[in-house]
Structure 1
Amino acid sequence: MVRVWDRVVRSFHWALVLSFVTAWLTSHSSQAIHHWAGYAAAALVAMRLMWGVLGTPYARFSQFVRDPVTVLRYLSAILTGREARYIGHNPAGGAMVIALIAAVGSTALTGWLMTTDAYFGVSWVEAAHSTAAHGLLLLVFLHISGVALASVRHSENLVWAMMTGRKRKAERTDVA
């Protein structure tokens, strides 16, 4: 086994899951809890952006953010069942990290705007927040599906890896 995801990345991931679920479940029932869950998500994203530059090797964006052509090539390989196993995030996973961070950020920003004097009750801000939140939910489902598919295809429990930080060592055909 090899350590891939450090404690900061793992804590960020599961805290973001908790804040998202809390915000989603309280969106129509508890305004105070909903707001605090959104603030927590925003703070987590800010922290992850810093850690993506300053963190350990597999936490750095430079390790897993790839150009669109590489991501599309990887997605095509998934369709043919020939995608490589990556020790860190694969190209699709890296793109999903960026998409999720952007979606959480836009959801948090529009939610915060709704609490300000300038934008309270403004319909386009409410619509933008709702659209961002529903888009985020769609990305979460795609993320979970991708994790499930990669776990099956590569015989590796990625949920467990995100809990322990450890994955199976690279084999000859894997991308480190």
Structure 2
Amino acid sequence: MTTNTAAARRYSTGAMIFHWLIAILVIVNWRIAEAAEHAEMPAKAEIFADHKALGIAILVLTLGRLMWRWTHPVPPLPSTLKAWEAKLARFVHILFYVLLIGLPLGGWLANSLAGRAVEFFGMFTIPALPVGSNEELGKTIFDLHATGGEIFIYLIGLHILGALKHTFFDKNGGIFRMLPFGKVPG
């Protein structure tokens, strides 16, 4: 297969599965956090328990995705991209990985500082990190976690707009690079 085939310009099936699964879970987890913010106790704590568990699942899947990425070739960006578009795409993808790892770790750390373990959907308990107790620092980290989550949502919006622009205006394959169907031009 030459590097000019559509398959070489499309992400691997494993990368697609990781991408879409993580994307769906991130959106669901954002909506869970929003629901928890508007709930009263004890429902609020139960909803946040699901948010925390899903965050750990996202962390594990992200680490799996990174291992997949390091062992499977990534298709080159379309040659039609302007230099600033390519740089922005790379920067946003790096920020995605930072947030996909940093947000769950930050949430786990903040819970640990508050002396709380993370229940993984009633299947098992993820123990608190051995960091001691510091409620004030935990609250600060929770605030940073919330701000990071908001930034993440805006980046996702930017990512979606970019994929749509490249698909429908630039016609360079855009979203079809991350789907097993659709035209990815040469």
Amino acid at match of 2:51: H
1:9 to partner: Cα distance:
0.7
Report the AA paired with residue 22 of structure 1. Answer: V
Residues 65-110 of structure 1: CA distance to partner in whole angstroms, max 9, x if unpaired? xxxxxx9x622xx6xxxxxxxxxxx443233221111112111111
Q: 1:101 aligns with which of 97, 100, 104?
A: 97
What is the CA-CA distance between 1:138 and the residue it aligns to? 1.2
- Is the 8 Å Cα contact of residues 99 and 152 (structure 2) preserved in structure 1? yes
Give the aligned partner of residue 145 of structure 2: 129
2:74 match: secondary structure: helix
Q: In structure 1, what is the equivalent of residue 158 of structure 2?
A: 142
Tell me the TM-score normalised to structure 1 length. 0.71
Match of 2:83 among 63, 74, 94: 74
Q: Which amino acid aligns with 2:139?
A: S
CA contact (8 A) 1:5 1:166 kept: no
- State the one-letter code of the partner of 2:71: L
Instruction: Give the corresponding residue for 2:6.
Output: 2
Structure having the higher Rg: 2
* Highest RCO, 1 vs 2 (Cα 8 Å, sep ≥ 6): 1
Distance 2:23 2:185 in 1: 27
Unaligned runs of 5+ in 1: 65-70, 79-89, 171-176
Aligned with 2:71 (options 36, 47, 54): 54
Q: Where does residue 32 of structure 2 map in the other structure?
A: 26
Secondary structure in 1 aligned to 2:111?
coil
Displacement, 1:119? 5.2
Tell me the TM-score normalised to structure 2 length. Answer: 0.68
1:45–1:104: 8 Å Cα contact kept in structure 2? yes
In structure 2, stretches of 5+ residues that fail to align are: 37-43, 116-132
Q: Secondary structure at the match of 2:179?
A: helix
Instruction: Tell me the matched-pair count.
Output: 146
- Once residues 143 and 119 of structure 1 are traced to their aligned partners in structure 2, the CA distance between those partners, rounded to angstroms, is 36
The CA deviation at 1:33 is: 1.8
Percent identity of the aligned residues? 19
